[in-house]
Amino acid sequence: MINRILIRIKVLQIIYSCYQSENKDFTVAEKELLLSIHKSYDLYFYLLLLIVEITRQQELILDAHKNKYLPTEEELHPNTRLVDNRFAVQLAKNEALLKYASQQALSWTDDKAFVRKLLEQILVSDLYKAYLENENDSYETDREFWRAIFKNIICGNDEMDEFLQDKSIYWNDDISIIETFVLKTIKQFDEKADSKQKLLPMYKDMEDQSFAIKLFKNALENKTAYRERIDKHVKNWESERIANMDLIIMQVAIAELLTFPGIPISVTLNEYIDIAKYYSTPKSSIFINGILDSIVGELKNEKLLLKN
């Protein structure tokens, strides 16, 4: 689940932090990298738990209304379609979710007010209205309702993003990426799997897991050589005037070009140019594209850039 896009971002962030800090212990930095990646996986489970908690809060509200001193007819016989949602019920008993949440102590228990605020947004939405009016009462309808709710009300929700960023400094740049994995997971749910529905693993395979460490180590260990190569191609720019993040982005990009022969050159260049658009100055992507393109040509001439 932790894809290489997110791994590249994490590597850049930890290297940047390492250079900014007086602590140059790379072993500590490596542990911080692995922790940061693990926290991204926590967020995946935390967002899945949100669906369960929203459903639970609705159930508690309906029960409270029923037990009022003088409940209305509507309160005595409420529409329970949201509470009975088959997908949410299945998710609430998912063995992998419950086990991970217990091991990592993940819970929305202390944030009921925020959960109820999200619940209110759902209950007044056109999506909820359409769901209640939908005559197709099926598991697929229930699952697609939650996928639509997650995509349109939870994803891109500024209050939600701010809330998650306050919860963990590790989640600041993960939210939009992890949300796509939650949407993918919802789509993959099968009623027949019941409580044993598989969730996404932390890494797609062992190669992705080793990718993070190899990229991180190579970029750090060869900093001097990579920076000297960058300086040769900067031409009219003085190194001191270049954004520090630009230098780190190019440094890590060169490390990837030279360390992973199985990754096409175009993939590496495109990934780091895209990262520059979000993590550096407005003109960084154009600048980085030009410098890396020149470096790639040089590496080819020196027969150092060997690709499968």
Averaged pLDDT score across all residues of the chain: 93
Q: For position 238, what pLDDT does the model report? A: 56
Say what the pLDDT of residue 239 is: 54
pLDDT of amino acid 54: 98
pLDDT band at 20 (very low <50, low <70, confident <90, very high): confident
If you average pLDDT over residues 144-173, what whole number do you get? Answer: 96
Q: By percentage, how much of the chain surpasses pLDDT 70?
A: 97
Average pLDDT over residues 44-49: 98
Check residue 242 and give its pLDDT.
Answer: 75
Q: Express the helix, strand and coil content of the chain in percent, nearest 5 each.
A: 75, 0, 25
Domain boundaries, the chain: 22-196, 222-301
C-alpha span between 86 and 194 (Å, rounded): 10
The 3-class secondary structure across 234-287, one letter per residue, is HCCCCHHHCCHHHHHHHHHHHHHHHHCCCCCHHHHHHHHHHHHHHHCCCCHHHH
What are 220-262's pLDDT values in tens digits? 999 999 999 998 888 766 555 678 899 999 999 999 999 999 9
Residue 24 has pLDDT above 70, yes or no: no
User: pTM (2 decimals)?
Assistant: 0.91
Say which CATH class 222-301 falls into.
mainly alpha
Average pLDDT over residues 53-72: 93
Which pLDDT belongs to residue 280? 86
**Predicted local distance difference test score (pLDDT) of residue 74:** 86
Residue 23: band (very low, low, confident or very high) from pLDDT cuts 50, 70, 90: low
Is 133 exposed, middle or buried (CB count within 10 Å of its CB: 0-12, 13-18, 19+)? exposed
**Which residues have CB under 8 Å from 285's CB, separation 6+?**
273, 274, 276, 277
Residues sharing a CB contact under 8 Å with residue 236, sequence separation 6 or more, in sequence order: none
Q: 154: closest CA among 117, 198, 104?
A: 117
> What pLDDT does residue 236 have?
62
User: Is the pLDDT reported for residue 8 higher than 70?
Assistant: yes
Nearest to 145 by CA among 55, 40, 71: 55
Higher pLDDT residue, 232 or 57?
57
> Is the model's pLDDT at 160 over the cut of 80?
yes
* pLDDT on residue 69: 87
Q: What is the mean pLDDT of residues 52-70?
A: 94
pLDDT band at 75 (very low <50, low <70, confident <90, very high): confident
Residue 308 pLDDT greater than 90, yes or no: no
